[in-house]
Structure 1
Amino acid sequence: MRPSVIKLERLLLLSVGFAGLLFIIYHGENEPPTLDKEQPSLPIPSRLTVAPNKFEKIEWLPGCQENKSMESIHGFLKLPAHIQDFLRYRHCKSFPQILNSPKKCGGAAASRNVVLLLAIKSSPGNYERRAIIRQTWGEETSYKGAQVKRIFLSGTAKNEREDQRFKWLLKIESQKYGDILQWDFHDTFYNLTLKQFLFHEWLDEYCPGANFIFNGDDDVFVNTFNVVAYVRGHEADKHLFVGQLIANVGPIREPGSKYYVPVQVTASDSYPMYCGGGGILMSKYTAHVIYNKSQDIQLFPIDDVYLGMCLKKAGLVPASHMAMSTVGVHVPSDKMDSFNPCYYRELLMVHRFIPYEMLVMWNAIRDPHLNCGHKVFVYLGA
């Protein structure tokens, strides 16, 4: 075969191959997708790609829409971040419950046998306080025939890593003691009112018959013997709401204060009478009245003031009890020890104690050899 013929054949084969390649490329671009082909996926937002403030809001308020109209309020953008968040979400009153104790009172019908329910507000990380309370004044037992039950009220930690650890911790406590109520909202000072509202909702469903409720913080000392003796002289179906009475006060307008409440939250310069939230004792009747009235009252960032608002709307008033103090015990002389068990043996509640003090005082007031023969004078504060 001559060289010219070979070159012609090679040129012809090259042309056919190039035409086939063009056909494949053209056909592939217009071919409809099939199930066998991998489709491009949209990027999934992660904590690394979402702005931290937006992600926090979504997790903090699941299922609740932000009220952006609040931003049109005069001076809103100059308010501290926690107050801005409160205003954006103050309409939110429904949150998923992470841990429940539906049989705490034996069911709705049997709950009438509970003479005293101790409802204690406790942040997720306060394990030591809860542990000591279980051993001391919060022990679930019978005081001369009066059944006492205990429940802790908690939210979630703001720090994501800590939150997961504390959820594990609370789950362990719940499985062992059955005394944890936890909701999916951040456990912060401004959310104490939300915690209070959700507790009354739980009470209405799972423990409506509990005769009396002590509602307080996890750093108070309660003389449960005296509280039971006190409620024995009252009727659960009548109004009772006692503590350390606070009257003739109004919002603190100083931005640096823990209790700062700006005019954007309330324009009123006065609060209704209320009892300090460290420890309050109420009857079944009053607890349910508070829940009913709270349905129509906006959340307020100070929880004890909010309870006072609910009472006022119901036409009820809080009362003072000289044996309940949220500011500790004051003795008339520096030479006297304010930790003397003789002062506490006659009281109902004192705020505040650290864990080891609770244990020491609880054992001291139960000591049959405690000598309190001489008179002592105690000032509980205004």
Structure 2
Amino acid sequence: MNTGRKYLKHKLLCILGAVTILLIYLSSWSCLGLKTALSWDDCGPYVAYPQNYKFIMDDTPTCKTRSPFLVLMVPVAPSDVASREAIRKTWGNEKLVLGQLIETVFILGLPGGADAEQQQENVKQENLLHHDLIQSNFQDSYRNLTIKTMMMLQWLAVRCVKASYVMKIDTDMFLHVQNLVKLLLDPSVAKQNYITGLVWWHSPVLRNPFNKFYMPRYVIAESEYPPYPLGMSYIMSMDLPGKILGVSSQIKPVYIEDVYLGMCLKLLGISPTDPPENTMFIVTPIHPLSDCSLSKVIAITTTSIPQMMRYWERSKQPDAKC
């Protein structure tokens, strides 16, 4: 009886293993079959080379008539008008902080879906009103975040070389602009080869093909990624966009944008810098933040636009401190 059960168990395990291998095999062939109709970035680790794209909307006065101390670059989906409006009313509207000029612009790709044409017309009309949208001709999607990031760096390297710093920040973040400027004005902060944020050290390369962030060994053989600042928000000195672009052609771009940034930094021999306090950048905060915690942060993830706006309003109160 026991022998029969063992045989049955062994047979079931073999069948399960065979099914798993077959699914992975079919998945890879599905990707290959779609490659011509879509692009490899829809299902593989790589994305199309970022410098194959161009800007189709770029009439913002930022860095044209004057050189800001800090440029805030906000990647955003074309359809996400609500986030852009909220940012324009809150931290994106802070233009002069501690005597330093701040500029905020949004970067986006092409809309998709059945109403793409109408979305694009809406984007054009919005930009006529605000002149703060930078658009490139890649398809705006999660899998194309690396392309969006590299186009952002390309724009900065050409347009904003006289600015001191840039911060890339996502739309779901609350940004305490005064704390950010205070950090950058500190004499101990480097003016070149400087990049900081919530730095991921010794981040493991995930090998499970069913994981969202799966990365095969033929792309990255090492078991750990080079250190990189988490993509939710990071700051860099304005010499870095050009330097990163200079080495980017030597590394085939992967779809995980902050990992790719870390790969470029490693090739440059530049390591990210941890912020002075670990309370400055928080990816999973416990909400609601106390006044004391709020007074120390630079950037934190929020759960909604109203929550972000409440944090901004509270940060402007004179008693919002420890």
Q: AA paired with 2:310?
A: V
Q: How does 1:325-336 map to 2 (within 5 A)?
A: 325-330=281-286
Q: Does 1:130 align with 2:130?
A: no
Q: How does 1:304-319 map to 2 (within 5 A)?
A: 304-319=258-273
1:97 is aligned to: 55
Give distance in 2, aligned partners of 1:253 and 1:354. Answer: 33
Structure 2 residues without counterparts, runs of 5 or longer: 1-25
Q: AA paired with 2:259?
A: V
8 Å contact 1:241–1:281 — kept in the other structure? Answer: yes
Q: How does 1:121-270 map to 2 (within 5 A)?
A: 121-159=75-113, 161-234=114-187, 237-263=191-217, 265-270=219-224
Give distance in 1, aligned partners of 2:132 and 2:195. Answer: 24
What's the offset of the Cα at 1:236? 6.4
Counting aligned pairs with the same residue, the percent is 25
The count of residues paired between Structure 1 and Structure 2 equals 289
1:85 is aligned to: 40
Query: Cα deviations across residues 43-93 of structure 1 (Å, max 9, x unaligned)?
Result: xxxxxxxxxxxxxxxxxxxxxxxxxxxxxxx98425496896226863453
Q: 4+ residue stretches of structure 1 with deviation over 4 A?
A: 78-84
Give distance in 2, aligned partners of 1:197 and 1:98. Answer: 16
| CA-atom RMSD in angstroms | 2.6
Q: TM-score, normalised by structure 1?
A: 0.69
Structure 1 residues without counterparts, runs of 5 or longer: 1-73, 331-336, 374-382
**Is the deviation greater in 138-147 or in 218-227?**
138-147
8 Å contact 1:117–1:210 — kept in the other structure? Answer: yes
- Which structure is higher in RCO with an 8 Å CA cutoff and minimum separation 6? 2
Give distance in 1, aligned partners of 2:60 and 2:89. Answer: 22
Give distance in 2, aligned partners of 1:151 and 1:179. Answer: 5
CA shift in 2, pair 1:97/1:286, >3 Å: closer
Q: Specify the SS of the correspondent of 1:152.
A: strand
CA shift in 2, pair 1:152/1:78, >3 Å: same
What's the offset of the Cα at 1:326? 4.5
What's the offset of the Cα at 1:253? 2.7
Q: Does 1:344 align with 2:304?
A: no
8 Å contact 1:242–1:318 — kept in the other structure? Answer: yes
What's the offset of the Cα at 1:310? 1.1
What's the offset of the Cα at 1:214? 0.7
8 Å contact 2:47–2:253 — kept in the other structure? Answer: no
2:244 is aligned to: 290
